[in-house]
């Protein structure tokens, strides 16, 4: 039995637009840009370690604002960070976002020593 007005769940969603493909998805503010995408079963941004260490989910935020946490300098330089080239697993949207995917998964099996590794961009 309710004893008072039901508290409304305050959850803000923001729209993320992926430049190039034009794909969009709605991401809640408490999830990273990468988690928001992956929770919907979407695959526009490559999913790696999800801790800011491996660099495969690198994106460039073209418009919009976000919160961020520490990311590996092996994959995000100070210049990158200033230019909004960040890791999707370490940024939380605080507005609608437009972004470009920079990261990619690396070599396939048996590609040998000479295949390019994931260099985080």
Q: How far is the CB of 1 from another protein (least distance, A)?
A: 31
Single out the segment in contact with another protein by CB under 8 A; choices: 8-16, 18-26, 66-74, 91-99: 66-74
62 lies in the binding site for another protein (CB under 8 A): no
Q: How far is the CB of 6 from another protein (least distance, A)?
A: 27
User: Are 107 and 77 within 8 A, CB to CB?
Assistant: no
54: its two tokens: 């491996």
For the chain, helix (H) and strand (E) counts, in that order, are: 2, 7
Point out which residues bind another protein (CB under 8 A): 46-54, 56, 69-74, 89, 105-110, 112-119
């Amino acid at each position: 039995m309710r004893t008072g007005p039901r508290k409304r769940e305050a959850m803000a969603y923001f729209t993320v637009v992926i430049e190039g493909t034009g794909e969009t998805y709605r991401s809640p503010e408490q999830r990273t840009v990468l988690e928001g995408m992956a929770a919907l079963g979407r695959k526009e941004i490559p999913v790696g370690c999800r801790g800011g260490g491996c660099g495969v989910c690198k994106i460039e935020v073209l418009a919009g604002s976000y919160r961020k946490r520490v990311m590996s300098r092996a994959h995000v330089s100070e210049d990158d960070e200033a230019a909004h080239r960040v890791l999707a697993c370490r940024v939380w949207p605080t507005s609608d976002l437009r972004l470009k995917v920079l990261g990619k998964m690396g070599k396939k099996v048996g590609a040998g020593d000479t295949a390019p590794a994931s260099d985080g961009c």
